[in-house]
Amino acid sequence: MRYPQNTKQCKFRSALERAQRLTAPLSRFRRSNQAFSLIEVTLALGIVAFALLPLVALLPVGLDSQRDAIESTTNAQILQTITGDLQRTEFDQLVNSEQLTTQTIPVRHFDDLGNEIEDIDAAPFVGTGARAYDVFVNLEYPAQIGVADNYAIVRAEIRLARNPGGLAPEVIFDPSKPEQYSTSFALIAKTSK
């Protein structure tokens, strides 16, 4: 290589040559930086899939928890409706004071939102307003609380069953199969007006 006589040009050329030597190794990588390789894309997808896998695995657990919460809320709403109705009923209508026995209130039906279904034959089999819960109420008078009978209190046994298939009450509330229904108790007191 021939160097010019001028020192300014000489310094410029030597700086240019040094810059070319320094950037020469990078020039072969410039072409590969224009796109991602298949290995890089595969690794990125693997990392993303590995990160999303626990989130996808939690979906069924979250849905089950939501379904349980909705069912618990509906059960509480139905029980509140039944006990409210019993408390609003005249005490003498709840009990037959001459016989002093237990009596059963006819089975009541509720939809999946906790609304009572008045006409079970007109209710749809599936969908909104469909029969989802049955309630069986047994009244005990006089209420046996502790060791003595209490003639001013009625003990209500409320059995609540999820029954979307419309099984007969004798089947769903079979005392030999208590796992089919939940049981709650309420005490209804005689109040003077």
pLDDT higher at 12 or 130 = 130
pTM of the model: 0.66
Gyration radius from the chain CA atoms: 39
| pLDDT above 70 for 103 | yes
**Residue 170: its pLDDT value, please?**
86
Q: For residue 112, report the phi and psi dihedrals to the nearest 5 degrees.
A: -70, -10
Q: With beta carbons less than 8 A apart as the criterion, state whether 143 and 150 touch.
A: yes
d(CA 82, CA 158): 8
Write the pLDDT tens digit of every residue in 50-101: 999 998 999 999 999 999 999 999 999 999 999 999 888 888 777 765 665 6
* Top-ranked range on mean pLDDT: pick from 24-38, 64-78, 129-143: 64-78
Q: Write the burial class of residue 187 (CB in 10 Å: 0-12 exposed, 13-18 middle, 19+ buried).
A: middle
Write the pLDDT tens digit of every residue in 140-171: 887 776 656 667 788 889 999 988 777 888 88
* Top-ranked range on mean pLDDT: pick from 16-20, 163-167, 184-188: 184-188
